[in-house]
Amino acid sequence: MKILSIGSDATAVRTDSALAERLRAYATHVERYDVLVPALTRVHADLAKNSAVYSGAGSTKLLQLYRMYKEAQRLMRMRRYDVVTVQDPYYLGVLAYLVARRFHAGLEVQVHGWERLCGARRLCARFVLRHAHAVRVVSMRIKRQLLGEFSVAEGKITVIPIYTEVRNKEKKERRREHDIPFVFLTVGRLVPVKRIDLQIEAMVEVVKKYPHTELWIAGEGRERRKLEARSKNQGVSDGVKFLGWVNDLEKVYKQADTLVLSSDYEGWGLVVIEAAAQGLPIMMTDVGCAGEVIVNEQSGLVISVGNVRALANAMLRLREDVALRETLAQGARNAIAKLPTRGETLMLYQQSWEMAYRETQGGSKRK
């Protein structure tokens, strides 16, 4: 089987990147696996004997989209892919639909989450999902939304959690020294949907009772200045540390005591899996993998979205209860141990591609 993957992550062109490594793994299960991404300049990088990355180059997003369409047509004529898979159901999804339809290929649409699902983007998503031959999602939460809101046939949907290669470690409680603060850690882009402002507000209550507590924020984004100003205005700037982008997250996980995720929305919540594998107890809003991996009071604390009082209370519980932290950390480790292995994940991908192919080829299969 030959696959053309259309996505937006240009790090695929860096042959030493984590994404490139994943793409090479995908290519081991098919005859050909090529990737098309937007870029400022035209690129072509070989990832393996049967896998390469191409780009649609342009100085604007619209020009990149047009050139991706032209490049996709060129590649289809040259390679005659069996399936086109696309990493979001919006404008790239429309592009993938047009290419798959023109060349009579199967169309697999991936839904990792919803980014600004309104207006034209919602219309694109509804159109693309209606015409998809197979739909791959990362959580049961998204599957339920596709069934209810988008009326996607259940038989088309495959749920495949995002695979993360992590070493499941038991984190021992750090010895509480008078000069070592208790650390709440949050990791992610500093954008409004992450609601890190709520964590800063909750810290006001936490430090009243436990002054020797810090919130570490690992990530960058357009909200950083606002968040720094908020922490200063709330009087907690001494305890709120902005770490910026962190290359070695494992080191930060080892220094932290609890992971906090307060997003209004997540498709899955990859950082939760990573932190749980490092032995951290988890507290998160009811988004993404909450309810599937992180179950309230069993493998973490799950609170309602946007509820700063519930957030502060959960932070206080974890701050003062060592036994609770240990119980939830162990529960989270047990939960992630049940997620599909790398081999199982790749087999599920292949099954989804084969479904998309069969829909256009009358039930036959190709390797």
How big is the CA angle at 257 (ends 252 and 258), to the nearest 5 degrees?
Answer: 95
The contacts of residue 279 (CB under 8 Å, 6+ apart) are 169, 170, 171, 172, 253, 329, 333
What pLDDT, in 10s, does the model give residues 216-259?
999 999 999 999 999 999 999 999 999 999 988 999 999 999 99
pTM for the model stands at 0.84
**Among candidates 352, 305, 25, 355, which has minimal Cα distance to 165?**
25
Of residues 178 and 354, more confidence is placed in 354
- pLDDT of 275 higher than 90: yes
Of residues 170 and 209, more confidence is placed in 209
Long-range own/partner contacts, residues 97-104 (CB < 8 A, 24 or more apart): 97/127, 97/128, 97/131, 97/132, 98/69, 99/4, 99/6, 99/69, 99/72, 99/73, 101/131, 102/73, 102/76, 103/73, 103/76, 103/77, 104/360
Can you tell me the distance from the alpha carbon of 202 to that of 196, in angstroms, rounded to the nearest whole number?
10
pLDDT at 364: 45
Can you tell me the distance from the alpha carbon of 262 to that of 305, in angstroms, rounded to the nearest whole number?
7
Annotated domain spans of the chain: 2-163+341-361, 182-336
Can you tell me the distance from the alpha carbon of 146 to that of 356, in angstroms, rounded to the nearest whole number?
17
What pLDDT, in 10s, does the model give residues 95-129?
999 999 999 999 999 999 887 788 899 999 999 99
Q: Which residue has the tokens 């495949």?
A: 160
- Rounded to 5 degrees, φ, ψ at 194 are -75, -20
CATH topology match: 2-163+341-361 vs 182-336: yes
Query: What value does the mean pLDDT take over residues 343-358?
Result: 94
Can you tell me the distance from the alpha carbon of 167 to that of 233, in angstroms, rounded to the nearest whole number?
40
How many secondary structure helices (H) and strands (E) does the chain include? 12, 14
Are 136 and 321 spatial neighbours (Cβ–Cβ below 8 Å)?
no
Query: What value does the mean pLDDT take over residues 40-68?
Result: 94
Q: Which residue has the tokens 């695979």?
A: 163
CATH number of 182-336: 3.40.50.2000
Q: Which residue has the tokens 């004997």?
A: 49
**The residue type at 70:** K
Lowest mean pLDDT, pick from 53-62, 231-240, 347-356, 358-367: 358-367
Of residues 331 and 363, more confidence is placed in 331
Both structure tokens of 260: 């906090």
How big is the CA angle at 230 (ends 216 and 276), to the nearest 5 degrees?
Answer: 25
What pLDDT, in 10s, does the model give residues 279-300?
999 999 999 999 999 999 999 9
Can you tell me the distance from the alpha carbon of 268 to that of 220, in angstroms, rounded to the nearest whole number?
20
CATH class in words for 2-163+341-361: alpha beta
